[in-house]
Amino acid sequence: MERYELPKGWEWMALSQVAPIDTQAIWPKEETDTHYQYIALENIESGTGNLINFKPTKGVLIRSNKFKFDRRHVLLGKLRPYLNKIFVPDFEGICATDILPLRPDRGIISREFFAVCLMSPNFVEYSKAKMEGTKMPRLRTPDIENYKIPIPPLPEQRRIVKRIEELTRRVEESRKLRAANLEDISRLLLSAMETCFQGDDDWIEKPLNELCVMKTGKTPPTSHPEYFNGDVPFVCPADVGERLLISDAQRRLSIKAIEDRKATVFEKGTVLLVCIGSTIGKVGLSARRLCTNQQITGLVFNDGVLPEYAAWFLTQQRETVRNAAAGGGVPIINQNGVGQLSMRFPEDKAEQRRIVVYLNSLQAKAEELKQLQTETEAELAAFTPALLAKAFRGEL
């Protein structure tokens, strides 16, 4: 563990000196009901100390050794998948023995400051380095007890905790605000599509089989590796739906797969519709020449309908596509079923274009907000460890 010079009045102390493991808290194995609530490692959220998926219950049946805890303890998960799982309880309960009840000495360290210590980057990195075991690595008790904690005076502990809570709350508020904005723009996009495609009385309505030519993709034989890992995007359902335009895919095919007619080619401007599986009804629009697997049908529209307009219209009709799919274990809609779906559109292609431009602008705004939200999540993930690192150097 990194050691550094502490501010005046601070002191390095072993964890066992300030918050020993409460060995008296063991609850012996016995099949009897208790009035205590039970917490598992899965109920503690990493990095926050919040309870998740937790339903308060009583009358738990004890079938193995458990730890008993109360408001004097701080709970620490000691298995590798559950590092940074710290909980400060405000009720009495029991927990599995993979969660240790540590009992801070309130004359030396507050529970809140101790919990923050255990969430610090130093303790997480120390824990990773000390883990032992292969199938389920865990912290050994001596290593936990020997961990050195920088201890400031109690008033300074309270100030640090308050400051951390304040700064973390501000970042969390920013994250929630951006998430709310993203939900708002997503709802606006759905509402805008519904409004745009209601149309006027003079709009044309025809079945898709009168407006486009359809063909279904296929997968080359996997026994021929020369058909794969080339330069041609091979679009599967997982590649469809994030954004309307599709120019790349997770997998790629070779030109040879096309030359040997082992793949179906779709040119730029083809509407791609997922027609089988749990993601049935997802829509994309090819932005370049590409291929798809057999779960996707390509629709090439005639000159009366802009492909961008058709793609947006079908995006709004996803529930209709789902309802038209055949039942059974795996939902599926064949080309005949797709062809019977109706499309409404203005005859004036300039009006189709205006609708496309408007919806594209809303989607661009939604993608911008998604990017901001992603950046906020990354900022929060980086902010908290940096904040804790400063706190334990006396720089906060």
Regarding whether 163 and 146 lie in a shared domain, the answer is no
- Is 3 within a domain? no
Regarding whether 106 and 86 lie in a shared domain, the answer is yes
Count of structural domains, the chain: 3
The domain of 292 spans 204-345
**Sheet with strand 245-246: strands edge to edge:** 212-216, 296-301, 271-274, 283-286, 245-246
pLDDT at residue number 58: 63
- Is 227 within a domain? yes
- Contact between 150 and 388 under an 8 Å Cβ cutoff? The reply is no
d(CA 206, CA 341): 8
Regarding whether 392 and 321 lie in a shared domain, the answer is no
Regarding whether 279 and 254 lie in a shared domain, the answer is yes
pLDDT at residue number 96: 77
Regarding whether 337 and 213 lie in a shared domain, the answer is yes
Structural tokens at position 69: 């805890």
Q: Please state the pTM of the whole predicted model.
A: 0.65
- Is 1 within a domain? no
| Final residue belonging to a domain, choices 121, 152, 183 | 152
Number of H helices, E strands in the chain: 10, 20
Regarding whether 240 and 366 lie in a shared domain, the answer is no
Regarding whether 196 and 215 lie in a shared domain, the answer is no
Q: What are 94's strand-pairing partners?
A: 38, 68
- Is 114 within a domain? yes
- Is 324 within a domain? yes
Q: pLDDT: is 110 or 174 the higher one?
A: 110
Return the CATH number at 341: 3.90.220.20
Regarding whether 213 and 327 lie in a shared domain, the answer is yes
pLDDT tens-digit readout, 21-31 = 887 766 655 54
- Is 162 within a domain? yes
Percent of the chain with pLDDT over 70: 91
Q: pLDDT: is 242 or 91 the higher one?
A: 91
pLDDT tens-digit readout, 317-359 = 999 999 998 766 789 999 999 999 999 999 999 999 999 999 9
Regarding whether 106 and 27 lie in a shared domain, the answer is yes
Regarding whether 301 and 210 lie in a shared domain, the answer is yes
- Is 146 within a domain? yes
- Residue 112: closest CA among 151, 77, 64, 158: 158
